[in-house]
């Protein structure tokens, strides 16, 4: 049995193009906080929930959290320069 062909090739150049092609990706289980969640591997309902994923306590299947999966995977920090940087000379260490 061969896999069905995708209607459009997946493009890695656009960060949101892949996310918009949900029908081409197939079933993607997500852990929804506050709702009953069944493990796709064993059907269990006991979970170890972390910051990025939830792991089934029975069979150790890990699935992403729904809140995290909806956000783009990009760094959320900015590099800024301190207001006092360069105003004071560096002290020499003679030791």
Handedness of CA 41, 43, 47, 52 (dihedral sign): positive
User: How confident is the model over 54-89, as pLDDT tens digits?
Assistant: 999 999 999 999 988 777 767 666 666 777 766 777
Dihedral in degrees, nearest 10, Cα atoms 10, 16, 21, 24: 40
User: How confident is the model over 28-63, as pLDDT tens digits?
Assistant: 899 999 999 999 999 999 999 999 999 999 999 999
Determine which of 4-18, 19-33, 75-89 has the lowest per-residue pLDDT on average: 4-18
Give the domain ranges of the chain: 34-72
For residue 2 the two structure tokens come to: 């061969």
């Amino acid at each position: 049995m061969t896999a069905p062909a995708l209607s459009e090739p997946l493009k890695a150049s656009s960060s949101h193009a892949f996310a918009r092609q949900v029908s081409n990706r197939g079933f993607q289980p997500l852990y929804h906080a506050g709702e009953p969640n069944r493990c796709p591997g064993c059907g269990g309902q006991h979970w170890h929930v972390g910051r990025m994923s939830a792991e089934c306590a029975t069979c150790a299947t890990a699935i992403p959290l729904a809140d995290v999966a909806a956000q783009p995977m990009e760094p959320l920090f900015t590099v800024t320069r301190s207001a006092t940087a360069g105003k004071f000379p560096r002290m020499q260490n003679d030791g």
